[in-house]
Amino acid sequence: MSLNPIQIENLIQLYLNENYSTHKLAELYKVGHKKISQILKDNNVELKKRGGQIKNGDSLQIEKSKVKKFVSEEKEYVAQCKKTGMRLNDVNNLSGNLTRHIIELYGDVNIPSNTYQRKKYEKENGKKWYEEYFDIIEIEKIPTRKCSLCEWETSDIDNKTGCFVNHINNVHKISLDDYLSCFPNEIKFHNSFVKKTNRENELLVKENYVICELCGEKMKSISSTHLTNKHNISVENYKLKFPNSRIVSESISIQLSDKIKEININYQPTWTSKGENEIKEFIESLGLEVFKGKNRTLLDGKEIDLIIPELKIGIEYNGLYYHTEDMGKNSNYHINKTLSCNQLGYKLIHIFEDEWMVNKELVKVKLKHILGKSDGKKIGARKTKITKIDKENKSHFLNEFHIQGNDKSDIFYGAYYGDILVGVMTFNSKRNMTKSDDGEYELSRYSTRKDYIISGLASKIMRQFINDYNPKDIISFADRRWTLDGDKNLYTELGFRLVKVLKPTYYYYNSKVSKYKRYHKFSFGKNNLKNKYPDIDLTKTESEITKELGFSKIWDCGLFKYHYRQ
């Protein structure tokens, strides 16, 4: 391409007066830079050395000026794109990231091609050329930490991500303990190391640790996580196996005790438990009036927790810890309250703390039934189908819907309403509580699904059992705490006769083993105790042994025994 005289005159002026280079002119006029050089020579223009254009005073000043840099010891700068808001850390564009971003976003733009042009832009505009596209923002400088063995640096000063330990392990092949022994001034950056060291030092003092009886490990307290994951045993079973072993160190125990004292300094006792309040609120939700507050008017000074005057029914909420023999509640304490209420025309329900805390919904169902407030779906027994069921279905149903849970019976009947199992009755042909004659069976459990009311179902299942087994005798037992009238109840409706009133029996309780559990006395016979605690002295009585193991008796109200004979 040839240039006309006007173009040639213009390019000479640009070369001489505007400091355009031959390359810049070649780009402008779309010809090769050698062609430009030849045109200049042909017009007697002295060529400048590469990069050495003739400089006037202003040009010399520009060339001698320093490039502006964003540097601060206290602050840090980032370049934020005006169009996208994206932030880039290379605020001085040393890597060219800002240039690349601008080209990708805006395409072909006028970018200063050399240091001189960039300095010139800064002098004329008072800012860097790329500040047309980026805002330079000052932010708080992020502190960093440098490895004392090399120049590696990280902003994770306290090793929260573990990157510092990974670095010294992988790069320098050294452990954290060895590194900190060489550079102890850096221990402050490793809180876990400090805790570990302090813990090891604390565990040198006897008052600060307990020893796991299963593995011998020292620790401040034996946690459920340790016992479950390492030994596959629950805290409760560990306490049962090692009743005289501490699970919390003496120092922690003192701390907890002091904390409780501090909390209780301004505590004003209300003399009403949370469970008692919940039961009161539940009964009131059924539309019944409840008197509360340790009513002493009925029994000449003895307390009754809740009174329902309309039904002449009282309710005792028996906290396990305060209703043991150790707290003065002997074998006749609960039954005497029941009998005293009965003499005044009142019936008394006893609810133990574990029943309410563990089986709250089932207790509510029983209360609704006793108080005449059942609200389940009503169906007739004639709409159900009675059949024998397997052990798995029986066990699952009783655990879900009977307050005593599963039993050890060997005959199980289920009632189905369509495909739904709505009732279960179980019988035992191998009684272990009394000597039995051939043909004697025990009715062990009867339960219905909590959201159903099925009139006549117990009688229908009983008839099916009698037809199948032709029993000579059937016996059964009812808990006096829940069976308020021994002569008028489900058993008597089925044709049973009350034959005996059994004295109260006891369970065992140890708040240090389980707060909400009573243990059946059968588990604490001498043979069972010997299996669990081989070192016990069998010359002592069961009561002496259990007391040494930390267990106290808690008494119920006894049982009604019923008999059915064809």
367 pLDDT above the threshold of 90 = yes
Angle between helices 360-370 and 274-285 (to 10 degrees): 50
Q: How many CB atoms lie within 10 A of CB 5?
A: 7
- The per-residue pLDDT for 267 is 43
pLDDT band for position 271 (cuts 50, 70, 90):
low
553, β-bridge pairs: 508
Residue 383 pLDDT: 96
As a three-state string, the secondary structure of 457-468 is HHHHHHHHHHHH
The confidence band for 530, taking pLDDT boundaries of 50, 70 and 90, is: confident
User: What is the arithmetic mean of pLDDT over 512-516?
Assistant: 89
Tokens encoding 300: 């000449």
What pLDDT, on a 0 to 100 scale, did the predictor assign at position 284? 95
The arithmetic mean of pLDDT across residues 389-414, rounded, is 95
Question: Which sequence spans correspond to the domains of the chain?
Answer: 5-54, 75-140, 145-202, 206-262, 274-370, 377-471
Q: Cα–Cα distance between 348 and 337 in angstroms, integer?
A: 8
Q: In this predicted model, what pLDDT tens digit does every residue of 58-101 receive, in sequence order? A: 666 666 566 566 766 667 888 999 999 998 888 888 888 888 89
Quick one: pLDDT at residue 321?
Answer: 92
Would strands 411-417 and 420-428 be described as parallel, antiparallel, or unpaired?
antiparallel
Degrees, nearest 5: CA angle 421-423-426: 115
3-class SS at 543?
Answer: helix
CA 14 to chain centre: 77
Q: How far is CA 316 from CA 115, 270, 324, 368, 478, in A?
A: 93, 17, 15, 16, 18
Instruction: Examine the pLDDT at 467 and tell me if it is beyond 90.
Output: yes
Is domain 206-262 given the CATH code 2.60.120 in the classification?
A: no
- pLDDT value of residue 435: 45
109-123, 258-272, 395-409, 437-451: least confident range: 258-272
CA distance 305 to 280: 9
Between CA 104 and CA 127 the distance in angstroms is 22
Residue 406, pLDDT above cutoff 50: yes
Burial of 30-41, coded b for 16+ CB within 10 Å and e otherwise, reads ebeeebbeebbe
What tens digit of pLDDT does each residue of 306-344 get? Answer: 999 999 999 999 999 999 999 989 999 999 999 988 888
Query: Is pLDDT at 28 greater than 50 in this prediction?
Result: yes
Helix (H) or strand (E) holding 548: helix 542-548
Expressed in angstroms, the distance from the first to the final Cα of the chain is 128
Dist CA 226 CA 229 (whole Å): 6
Q: Cβ(395)–Cβ(421) under 8 Å?
A: no
Q: Check pLDDT > 60 for residue 423.
A: yes
Helices 5-17 and 22-29 sit at what angle, rounded to 10 degrees?
A: 150
Give the pair of three-digit tokens for residue 364.
Answer: 């509510």
- Whether residue 269 has pLDDT greater than 50: no
Cα-trace Rg, the chain: 45
Give this prediction's pTM. Answer: 0.59
Partnered with residue 424 across adjacent β-strands are 414, 447
Q: Which of 352, 349, 330 is nearest to 338 (CA)?
A: 349
d(Cα 97, Cα 385) in Å, to the nearest integer?
80
What pLDDT, on the 0 to 100 scale, is given for residue 560?
95
Distance CA 300, CA 560 (A): 27
Q: Record the tokens describing residue 226, joined without a space.
A: 């340790």
pLDDT for position 497: 95
Cα 188 to Cα 529: distance, rounded to the nearest angstrom? 52
pLDDT interval class at 116 (50, 70, 90): confident
Angstrom distance (rounded) from CA 336 to CA 329: 11
pLDDT tens sequence across 186-236 = 888 888 887 777 777 777 777 788 889 899 888 888 888 899 999 999 887
- Categorize the per-residue pLDDT at 457 as very low, low, confident or very high, splitting at 50, 70 and 90: very high
Say what the pLDDT of residue 72 is: 63
For the domain made up of 377-471, the CATH class stated in words is alpha beta
pLDDT at res. 289: 94
Q: Give yes or no for residue 362 having a pLDDT over 50.
A: yes
Q: Average pLDDT for residues 161-178, to the nearest whole number?
A: 90
- Summary mean pLDDT of the chain: 85
Mean pLDDT of 150-164: 87
CA–CA dist 282, 159 (Å, integer): 53
Neighbours of 289 (CB within 10 A): 11
Section 441-467 average pLDDT: 95
Determine which of 12-26, 346-360, 477-491 has the lowest per-residue pLDDT on average. Answer: 12-26
Distance separating alpha carbons of residues 501 and 527, to the nearest angstrom: 29
pLDDT at 433: 45
Determine the pLDDT at residue 22. Answer: 83
Q: Per mean pLDDT, which range of 113-127, 338-352, 354-368 is the poorest?
A: 113-127
The CATH code of the domain at 274-370 is 3.40.960.10
